[in-house]
């Protein structure tokens, strides 16, 4: 006989207690769990005909799947740009599932208002002006896509068409200019029908990933007054470099363009007194992307997008239906983002901001910045490695002093040690390793452990 949800319902307290105990054991073991695993898939199992209940499912997950899971929320997982989950955000995330709100519309619940409050808190955290309004999306890729979709509508406005109504063919060819665009920009352009080839790389400053603003001005001048999109980068993924946002924004006095800023993790520079100047002009952007499952340390998936042209945003994403209610003065989230139904992602972010405030999150950012700088110093002093760029923010980009082609081998050896997880890249044509600090748990002792494994594997 199959177990039904109703059978489990009468055991809710017992099941929650068991799940809580299991979660606590996982969290307590996180720092010593291998940072990453070389994936070995468990033997596939067919769909169970009869269910065995939640306790049995938990036991099976713990035996078959959990051992292969990485400590990606742990302190020495420095691959990609990966945040962990603060205790408050985990609680908020659990309650998201428990309450299971769909903040699509405000017809039944205050959940959309909680999202609005959280967006307003984030706006304040990043020092953005009140005119920048936003909504939650699944990640920086979706945030970039949303910002570019609004930019696409703005291009239509300049040319006297509505792309949302008439389709992208009515727009004609579009030029998107950027110095060191993240790969997700190409994906967004493909998704939006603008095409990956619309993206033109503009020269960067010598030895930098930041765009050369005079070359950007030249590229815009070549467009002969045709409106364009500029994607500025605040925190590049290889070296954490920043475009000069103020100088780029000032170019709008001379050329017509939509300024989208990918500040996926760079937006958090606003929390560091020594780095805030890098994003002081962020609020001048037309659309902004900031990821939250990175440096805010909330569970996947979570990001926010901002724009000061909510009218264009609603034109793109409006989802009129008699049963959903009117668009109204303050459109519900259903009219603002690519999804209709969606989880109340904002709750985890709300919890961590309510629990730790600006100061708590500034402490995380400040510590990660100091730790990245520390690892940079340690690597610079190691004969086996050389830094490829100064540590500008939270990413340490380096290669082997001997044969850079060995970086994959070295990355595998680091993973196999279980001590740390770093990802590889190619920076300015050189195969490289990256260590990105955005986890709230990482300490100086962790940096020493990472430095020790780096020394060992390069020997």
Ligand X SMILES: Cc1ncc(COP(=O)(O)O)c(C=O)c1O
- Among 118, 90, 92, 114, which Cα is nearest to 102's? 114
Does residue 84 bind ligand X (CB under 6 A)? no
Does residue 80 bind ligand X (CB under 6 A)? yes
Burial of 162 (0-12, 13-18, 19+ CB in 10 A): middle
Tokens matching residue 348: 């985890």
Are 243 and 265 in contact by the 8 Å Cβ rule? The answer is: no
Among left, alpha and beta (phi > 0; psi -120 to 50; other), residue 457 is alpha
> Which residue, chain included where needed, has tokens 């929320």?
73
User: Coil, strand, or helix at residue 452?
Assistant: helix
- By CB under 6 A, what part of segment 294-333 binds ligand X? 303
Does residue 139 bind ligand X (CB under 6 A)? yes
Q: Which is nearer to ligand X, 148 or 410 (CB)?
A: 148
298-316 exposure pattern, b = at least 16 Cβ within 10 A, e = fewer = bbbbbbbbbbbbbebbbbb
Does residue 264 bind ligand X (CB under 6 A)? yes
Does residue 262 bind ligand X (CB under 6 A)? yes
Does residue 81 bind ligand X (CB under 6 A)? yes
Q: Which is nearer to ligand X, 141 or 439 (CB)?
A: 141
Among left, alpha and beta (phi > 0; psi -120 to 50; other), residue 60 is alpha
Q: Which is nearer to ligand X, 156 or 235 (CB)?
A: 235
Q: What is the DSSP string of 150-203?
A: HHHHHHHHHHT--HHHH-GGGT----EEESS--HHHHHHHHHTTS-GGGEEEPP
Smallest distance, ligand X to C-beta of residue 352, A: 17
Does residue 286 bind ligand X (CB under 6 A)? no
Smallest distance, ligand X to C-beta of residue 198, A: 18
Q: Which is nearer to ligand X, 306 or 451 (CB)?
A: 306
Does residue 237 bind ligand X (CB under 6 A)? yes
Smallest distance, ligand X to C-beta of residue 294, A: 7
Binding to ligand X by CB under 6 A, coded x per residue (else -) over 27-66, reads ----------------------------------------
Smallest distance, ligand X to C-beta of residue 81, A: 4
Q: Which is nearer to ligand X, 181 or 312 (CB)?
A: 181
Binding region for ligand X (CB under 6 A): 80-81, 139-141, 182, 184, 235, 237, 262, 264-265, 291, 303
């Amino acid at each position: 006989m199959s177990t039904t949800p109703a059978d489990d319902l009468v055991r809710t307290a017992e099941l929650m207690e068991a799940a809580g105990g299991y979660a606590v054991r996982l969290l307590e073991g996180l720092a010593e769990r291998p940072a990453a695993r070389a994936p070995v898939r468990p033997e596939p199992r067919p769909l169970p005909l009869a269910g065995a209940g939640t306790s049995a499912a938990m036991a099976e997950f713990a035996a078959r799947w959990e051992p292969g899971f990485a400590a990606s929320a742990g302190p020495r997982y420095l691959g990609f740009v990966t945040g962990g989950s603060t205790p408050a955000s985990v609680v908020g995330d659990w309650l998201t599932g428990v309450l299971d709100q769909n903040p699509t519309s405000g017809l039944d619940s205050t959940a959309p208002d909680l999202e609005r409050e959280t967006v307003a808190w984030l706006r304040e955290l990043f020092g953005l002006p009140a005119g920048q309004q936003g909504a939650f999306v699944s990640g920086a890729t979706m945030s970039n896509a949303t910002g570019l979709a609004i930019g696409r509508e703005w291009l239509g406005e300049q040319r006297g068409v509505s792309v949302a109504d008439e389709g992208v063919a009515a727009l004609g060819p579009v030029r998107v200019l950027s110095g060191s665009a993240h790969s997700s920009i190409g994906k967004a352009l493909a998704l939006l029908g603008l095409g990956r080839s619309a993206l033109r790389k503009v020269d960067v400053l010598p030895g930098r990933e930041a765009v050369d603003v005079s070359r950007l001005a030249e590229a815009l001048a070549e467009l002969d007054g045709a409106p364009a999109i500029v994607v500025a980068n605040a925190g590049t993924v290889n070296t954490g470099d920043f475009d000069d946002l103020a100088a780029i924004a000032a170019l709008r006095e001379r050329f017509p363009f939509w300024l989208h800023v990918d500040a996926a993790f760079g937006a958090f520079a606003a929390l560091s007194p020594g780095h805030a100047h890098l994003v002081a002009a962020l609020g001048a952007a037309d659309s902004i992307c900031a990821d939250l499952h990175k440096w805010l340390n909330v569970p996947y998936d979570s990001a926010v997008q901002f724009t000061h042209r909510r009218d264009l945003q609603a034109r793109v994403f409006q989802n009129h239906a008699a049963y959903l209610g009117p668009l109204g003065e303050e459109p519900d989230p259903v009219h603002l983002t690519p999804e209709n139904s969606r989880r109340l992602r904002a709750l985890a972010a709300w919890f961590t901001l309510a629990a730790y405030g600006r100061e708590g999150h500034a402490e995380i950012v400040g510590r990660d910045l100091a730790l990245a700088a520390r690892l940079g110093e340690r690597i610079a002093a190691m004969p086996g490695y050389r830094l490829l760029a100064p540590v500008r923010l939270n990413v340490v980009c380096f290669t082997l002093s001997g044969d850079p082609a060995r970086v994959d081998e070295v990355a595998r050896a680091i993973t196999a040690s279980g001590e740390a997880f770093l990802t590889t890249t190619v920076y300015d044509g050189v195969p490289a390793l990256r260590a990105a600090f955005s986890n709230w748990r990482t300490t100086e002792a962790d940096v020493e452990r990472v430095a020790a494994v780096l020394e060992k594997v390069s020997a």
